[in-house]
Chain A
Amino acid sequence: MKIMRPLLAFAAGLSLGLIFTAWAGESPWHVLGVLFKGAFGSRYDFGMTLFYMTPLLFAGLAVSVAFRGGLFNIGAEGQLAIGALAMAWAGFSVPGLPRPFSWIFAALVGASVGGLWGGIAGWLKARRGSHEVISTIMLNFIAAGVVSYGVLNLFKNPESQNPETVSVAPSYLIAGIPGLGDAPVSWALLVGLGLALILGWALERTRWGFELQAVGKNENAARLAGIPVERVQILAMVISGAIASGVGLAEVLGSAHRYKLGFSPDYGFVGIAVALLARGNPWGVIASSFLFGALHKGTADLDLETEHVTRDLALVIQALIIGAVAADGLWDSMGQRMAQFARHWRRRPEQP
């Protein structure tokens, strides 16, 4: 039953959202059809679903790792932005590197900067006792300012009217996955999938994963068992930030080939929903990022295909899914009530 809950939550969120569209005067079946066709209707649509899935996969994994360590990383948005900018910087500042060193270099630079940004929150939590939720919110805004300064004042592309950096060198580009109707989805997706598999394994089978989960489940017990809680927490946030920077692989190296200011439609925040739905399980994140990617692509078509509903429906459905996942107590009390009811029903005939 517990394993079914995420699916139940997704279904509940989607259905409630569709009922809402009925209230707006739209046929829920029609909306559902548009969502489905928008996400899976053609090779191109499917490619776009995968395109949106890729950043959500990285963001979801980032949030999940922290989550398993008992930390709430609301700062994936800032970490991915600053990490992706660092990746772009690597791409245009060191143009001479051949493949695959260019990719490794860019990934390392991005992960270091993203990891550093996450690590600040981890350090503040472990050493100064600042709640990571609050400090990551602050760091999101600080990252937004720093990135905006970097793009507009330091690395601005002089030939473009748009707020974007100069292009990365050709050897840094990650090729698109062929056969998907020219959708801008790149092989970065494969990197994300590999990372998810490795993380899922590492969480269950390595000392790092064991210590992380021990700290996440009970900090005091972990401390008594001799686990260096503070170091584990700082490392968790560093890794979380480093994973978040992976969004740059998809966006900067894989599709836009430069850093475009404001490229992220809140990937970092949707990543929270992705991680929650997967309950912090990296393998589950693969499935949930796919569902959220499909939702993002499907709702994008609502603007044109329906009269009364817009792509903002995605936000409503996300909220409802989060609510359904969050209200664990609600499910529990519903379950208890049903069990009570069933007991009551069964006992009845026996009573004189």
Chain B
Amino acid sequence: MTGSLLEATLRISSPLIFAAMGGLLCERSGVIQIGLEGLMIVGGFTAAVVALQTQSPAFALMAAALAGAAFGWIYALLAVRYKANQIVAGTGMNFLAMGLVPFFSKVLYENTGTTPSLALEYRLSWVSAVVLAIGVVTALAWLIKKTPVGLWIRFAGEHPHALEAAGVRVHRVRMWAVMGGSAIAALGGAVLSIGLASAYSRNMVAGRGFMALTALIFGKWRAWPALGACFLFGFAEALQFRLGSVAIPAQWIQILPYVLTLVVLAGFVGKARAPSALGQ
């Protein structure tokens, strides 16, 4: 009973973890990433298509990451290079993903956004998804804390002028951080479509990108606490399936992560401090 609740929590959390970590990499470099939803859509669809073609989940993950990086490149071009308002550009990227996926799906499969079902042996097991997710968190925490690249990323997010004065191009750091982060976020969609489900289906992401963004903020823009937030939100959702809507109305559990984050954001429980150059 409790074992399966734990399993459900891990399953539900794993896509969130990837998306939250992708968002973390972007935002720590000082670029707001509101397009996680769109990146998960792109990653989920690409992975499902490539898994069908190559029958290899590994290839599917790589393709999803590449598609995410390409999408992130467009966003970075707008937001970093051409200094577009990042909220505006991110909103646009979400629209683009929501519109393009049904478009390609129509061309490829003659329907509006559902890929054919994938045989069980070509799917990603949830255990490997979770292991991969934890691996990404570990790698990212190490990258940001312990490496020179991580130092650049943190400075791009906190004191871009100091970084520029030290001779490092802030724009270049941010471009790469956004592309890398977008690739990771797209993996979240891939895990959703070829790991937790057997295909990509329309409206599959259903706000999970925003929930990952919420987890990132709830974790105060740090890797391990953000991981904890993903588990917490995953647990809330797993609990909701378990309880049904008898004991507590499902809606109350659904809104719980957002209410909690709003409280944290308002500084009632310690101060949630965003990277100081975020959005500039």
Contacts and interface: CB of A to CB of B under 8 A. Distances in A.
Contacts of A316: 95-96, 99-100, 103
Interface in B184-224: 207, 210-211, 213-214, 217
B91 to A, nearest CB: 6
Size bracket, chain A contacts: 35 or more
Given A74-B91, A141-B207, A312 B102 contact: yes
B112 A149 contact: no
Interface of chain A, main secondary structure:
helix
Contacts of B87: 72, 74, 133
A144 B106 CA distance: 30
Interface string B73-106: 0000010011111011101111110111011001
Contacts of A72: 87
A142 interface: yes
Contacts of A138: 214, 258-259, 261-262, 265
Interface string A118-161: 00000010001111011101110110111011001100000000
Interface stretch (B58-66, B175-183, B249-257): B249-257
Contact of B92 (A130, A309, A319): A319
A145 B236 CA distance: 14
A145 B254 contact: yes
Interface in B98-150: 98-100, 102-103, 106-107, 112-113
A320 B103 CA distance: 14
Contact of B112 (A146, A310, A329): A310
Return the 9 tightest CB-CB contacts between A and B, nearest first.
A315-B99, A322-B92, A319-B96, A316-B99, A329-B82, A145-B255, A319-B95, A326-B84, A312-B102
B34 interface: yes
Interface of chain B, main secondary structure:
helix
B259 A326 contact: no
Contact of B34 (A133, A135, A148): A133
Interface of A: 20, 24-25, 72, 74, 124, 128-131, 133-135, 137-139, 141-142, 144-146, 148-149, 152-153, 269, 272-273, 276, 308-310, 312-320, 322-323, 325-330, 333
Nearest to A153: B249
Contacts of B210: 137, 141
B103 A309 contact: yes
B266 interface: yes
A328 B265 contact: no
Contacts of A137: 34, 210, 213-214
A139 B91 contact: no
A333 B100 CA distance: 28
26 contacts: A124-B262, A124-B265, A124-B266, A128-B265, A130-B262, A135-B262, A135-B266, A138-B258, A141-B210, A141-B211, A142-B255, A145-B254, A146-B251, A149-B249, A273-B95, A276-B88, A312-B99, A315-B96, A316-B103, A319-B93, A326-B92, A327-B89, A329-B81, A329-B82, A330-B82, A333-B82
